[in-house]
Amino acid sequence: MDTDKHRYANVLNPSASEHPQPLTLLTEDEAILRDSVRQFAEARVRPLVREMDEHAKIPRSLVDHLFDLGVMGIEIPETYGGSGGTFFHAVLAVEELSRVDPSIGVLVDVQNTLVINALLRWGSDDVKRRYLPKMAASTVGAYALSEAGSGSDAFALTTRAREATDADGSHYLLTGRKLWITNGNEADLFMVFATVNPEAGYKGITAFLVERGFPGFTVGKKEDKLGIRASSTCELILEDCRVPGANVLGDVGKGYKVAIETLNEGRIGIGAQMIGLARGALDQSIKYTKERKQFGKPIAEFQAVQHQLARAAVDVEAARLTVYNAARLRDAGRPFLTEAAICKLFSSEVAERVSSLAVNLFGGNGFVKEYPVEKLFRDAKIGQIYEGTSNLQLQTIAKQIIG
């Protein structure tokens, strides 16, 4: 009995064990980052939201301000000129920016959770020296996996990489087309996936770092989208694009591993974008219902409206917990595949529900561009599509829990 008491002492006596940190309790540096990004979003981003949506473009000056703020290189070590932060810091930044404009949130998300994380994990020392300082200072990155015939079937790639040698050394010639590439207009560095051996299937896929100025590389059509319109989504055209052998990211034929593991982290970033969007829609709804009067009083005083707002708040908080949990697990080096799929699936559904409710609560005003919620409603839809559709997330979760 005494042995049992000793065994459970740390559980029964909180002072005898180290407390796990609550998911939403931020450390001092996390809170400072959140507050600074929130202030930036309100001061610098919000005045431009409608203009950026209408013109489908992010001003380069705003991108430069994001670099100055330090959020374009959050996890890059200070030795390379970055902020030296954590994955969770990146999640907080994406959430706060997306509360004001999800287009800016996804720009920062792709930069950090996809491109920079891949460089940190798979890049050689030479690659890190050449590219990380640039990505911390001024270079936007893009992640190029999707093609016309490889969306959910991500590895049905037709983009081909042929090895060649000339007087300048070993290199690859990449030929093919990529579609739906976020940051296509802004980026100067593209992580492009191509196959060196189609007969090897996914084991022929290799990741390459392609600079905008490489011969044979062109940014093509820019998509005219329903939502996140300021965020550029472009076609990439590679016609015997010459890529140095030193720009292979990871091992030749192991690009599928780079893609899978990077996307698993990226889905947490999309979760952060979606909870930021949902928070923005809820904040706007609360503010508007306090101001809008019907039958002699603000509509926020009607019980039906109060219950709708309460349910939306529950949804947002639950989604936020799934995102923070996945991010904390990732930073702790623990398995997070299932949790990443859960947070991506649930947060995207919550974003659509809460933004739709916001349009309803705004009434006729919710349907016009003069008010902010119709844009958030349009922006929400992409969350269930990119970086793995909702059906793919369900399949991932099912496979993990069933075995």
**What are the structural domain ranges in the chain?**
28-140, 143-254, 257-402
Contacts (Cβ under 8 Å, ≥6 apart) of 185: 57, 219, 222, 232, 234
Residue 387 to residue 110: CA distance in whole angstroms: 10
Tell me: pLDDT of 170 over 70: yes
pLDDT in the model for residue 316: 98
Tell me: pLDDT of 364 over 90: yes
Tell me: pLDDT of 9 over 90: no
Report the mean per-residue pLDDT for the chain.
Answer: 94
Tell me: pLDDT of 72 over 70: yes
Average pLDDT over residues 225-243: 98
Residue 399 to residue 17: CA distance in whole angstroms: 35
Residue 163 to residue 245: CA distance in whole angstroms: 8
Residue 348 carries which side chain, given as an amino acid letter?
A: S
Residue 191 to residue 145: CA distance in whole angstroms: 8
Task: Please indicate whether residue 387 is annotated as part of the active site.
Answer: yes
User: What phi and psi, each to the nearest 5 degrees, are found at residue 205?
Assistant: -75, 135
Contacts (Cβ under 8 Å, ≥6 apart) of 357: 281, 285, 308, 312
Q: Which two tokens stand for residue 8?
A: 């459970």
Which CATH number is associated with domain 143-254?
Answer: 2.40.110.10
At residue 167 the predicted structure's pLDDT band, cuts being 50, 70 and 90, is confident
pLDDT in the model for residue 153: 82
Contacts (Cβ under 8 Å, ≥6 apart) of 195: 157, 158, 159, 160, 161, 204, 205, 206
Q: Nearest CA to 30 among 93, 104, 81, 101?
A: 93
pLDDT in the model for residue 16: 41
Average pLDDT over residues 223-248: 98
CATH 1.20.210.10 assigned to 28-140: no
Whole-structure pTM value: 0.94
Tell me: pLDDT of 5 over 50: no
What digits encode the pLDDT tens for the residues 262-308? 999 999 999 999 999 999 999 999 999 999 999 999 999 999 999 99
Q: Do domains 28-140 and 257-402 have the same CATH topology?
A: no
Tell me: pLDDT of 179 over 50: yes
At residue 152 the predicted structure's pLDDT band, cuts being 50, 70 and 90, is confident
76 and 112 Cβ atoms separated by less than 8 Å: no
At residue 37 the predicted structure's pLDDT band, cuts being 50, 70 and 90, is very high
Lowest mean pLDDT among 58-62, 201-205, 375-379: 201-205
CATH superfamily to which 257-402 belongs: Butyryl-CoA Dehydrogenase, subunit A, domain 3 (1.20.140.10)
Tell me: pLDDT of 101 over 80: yes
Given the residues 95, 211, 352, 387, select the one marked as catalytic: 387
Average pLDDT over residues 372-383: 98
